[in-house]
Structure 1
Amino acid sequence: MMLRLRVSFPDRPGALGQVARVLGTLGADILQVTVLERETGRAVDDFVVSWPGSPDAATVADRLSAVPGIRVEGVWPTREVPGAAPDYDLIRHVASDPSRAFVTLVDAVPELVGAEWAVALSSDGEGLLHRSWQAPEVLEDGGIAGVKLADLALLRPAALTSGSHQLMSIPVPAAGLHLVLARTQGPSFHRAEVDRASRVVEIVSIIAGP
C-alpha cells in the first residue's frame, strides 16, 4: 500500500537517518522524501512509502510516534508517482493550449500537493466556474465542503480547515477566479504546499495571458 507520511523530528545530524531506519524496521520501503520545513530546531518531511499490507493510519502513526523525538503529523493513502514531475506536465499541457489554461489547471493541480479535488470559483465567491472530476457535484446551502463560497475567496493564498476537509484557497486576479483545493485525509496543507501551488498558478496565469 502506498502511503504519504508527514513526520516531524529533531533537526540534527543523523535524525533523518534514524527516521529512515525506523521505517525500515517497520517494513516500509521509502520511495521519496520531500523537505517541507527546517525551523525552530525541528524538521518536517513528507515520506512516500510502500507499506506492506493495508495498515490503518492510526496504527502507522502509533508505531512511529513510539520512537522518542518523532511526531507524526499525518498518514494518508497516496497515488503519487515517486520521481514524477506533475508540475512540469501541467505547464506543458497549458502551454500547448493556453485557451484552456485554467480548466487544465483545475483538473491537474490536485496531484501537485496531494489534494483530492479542486474547483475554480468566481472572484466574487458566488459561482462555480469549473471543477475537477473528483469534486462535489452539488453545492449545498451556497457552499462547498461546509464553507460559504464567499468565505473561500480570500485575498491571498491560505490554508484552512472546514470539518473533515483541509482546504487551500489561491486567488487568481488575472482570471477573475479563486482556485480551491481540498482533501479529506491527511493534515492541513503546509505553507510549502501552498507556495508550490501558488507558483504554478502564477506561471499558468502568465501563459494564459490577458
Structure 2
Amino acid sequence: MLLRMRVSLPDRPGGLGQVARALGALGADILQVTVLERESGRAVDDFTVSWPGAATTDEVRDRLSAVPGVRIEGVWTTREVPGSAPDYDLLMHVAADPGRAFSTLVDALPGLCWAEWSLTLSGGAVRHASLSAPAVFDLDEPPLRATTRVSEKLRLMLLPVAAHDLHVVVARSEGPGFHRAEVERAARIVDVVSALSRR
C-alpha cells in the first residue's frame, strides 16, 4: 500500500534520519521525501512510502507518533508514482491543445495535489470538473488570491484566475489541509496554464 505522510520534526542534524530509521523498523520503504518548510526549529516533510500489509492510517500514525519530537500531521493513501513529473506532463498537454486548457487542468490537479477532485467556477456555475467533482458547488465570497479553507469534511484550495474570471477549486478529504508550499506550487501551475490558454 502506498501512503503519503506529513511529518513535523525537529530541524536538526539526524532528525530526518531518526524518522527514516523508525519507518524502516516498521517495514516501510521510503520512496520519496518532499521538504515543505524549515522554520522555527522544525521541518515539515511529506514522505511517500510503500507500507507492508494492510495497516490502517491510524495504526501508522500511532506508530510514528512514538518517535520523540515527531508530530504526524496527516497520513493518507496515494496513487502518486514517485519520481514522475506529472506537472510537466500537464503543461505539455495544455501546450498541445490550449483550447482545452482548463478541462485538462482540472483533470490533472487531483493527481498533482493528492486530492479527490477539482473544478473551475465562473459566475457561480461549474465550468469544468474532474471525476468525482460535484455538479454544483457554492463558493461564498470567492477569494482574490490563492488560499485554503476547510468546509465540512473537505480541505479546499482556492485559486483565482483573474484573466479568465474563474476560480479553481481543489478538494481533499483525506490527510491534512493544504500546506502553503502546495498552494504556491498549484498557483504557479494555474498561472502557466492560464498563459498557455491565451495563445
* Corresponding residue for residue 35 of structure 2: 35
Aligned counterpart, 1:111:
111
Residue 158 (structure 2) aligned to one of 155, 163, 169? 169
Question: Where do residues 12-161 of structure 1 align in structure 2 (5 Å cutoff)?
Answer: 12-122=12-122, 124=123, 126-137=124-135, 139=136, 144=137, 148-151=138-141, 153-161=142-150
Letter in 1 for 2:193: V
Post-superposition shift, 1:135? 1.1
The amino acid that maps onto 2:156 is L
How many angstroms apart in 1 are the aligned matches of 2:152 and 2:73?
17
Q: TM-score, normalised by structure 2?
A: 0.97
Tell me the amino acid that sits aligned with residue 128 of structure 2: H
Segments of structure 2 that go 5 or more residues without pairing to the other structure are none
Moved more, 179-188 or 110-119: 110-119
> 2-side partners of 1:121 and 1:76: how far apart?
27
Cα distance in 2, alignment partners of residues 53 and 155 from structure 1 = 45
Query: What's 2:183 paired with?
Result: 194
In structure 1, the residue matched to 2:196 is 207
Letter in structure 2 aligned against 1:10: P
Are residue 178 (structure 1) and residue 167 (structure 2) matched?
yes
CA deviation after TM superposition for structure 1 residue 112, in Å: 1.2
Distance 2:165 2:100 in 1: 15
Q: In structure 2, what is the Cα distance between the partners aligned to 1:48 and 1:120?
A: 28
List per-residue Cα deviations over 1:22-75 (Å, max 9, x = no partner).
000011000000010101100000000000111111111111001110100000
Gaps of 5+ in 1: none
Indicate the SS of the match to 2:140: helix
AA in 1 matched with 2:179: H
Q: Write the deviation string for residues 143-196 of structure 1: whole angstroms up to 9, x where unpaired.
A: x3xxx3233x21110011111101000000111100000011000000000000
Instruction: Quote the Cα distance in structure 2 between the aligned partners of 1:34 and 1:116.
Output: 20
Look up the equivalent residue of 1:45 and give its one-letter code.
D
Counterpart CA distance in 1 for 2:171 and 2:127 is 16
Aligned sequence identity (%) = 62
Q: How many residues align?
A: 199
Q: TM-score, normalised by structure 1?
A: 0.92
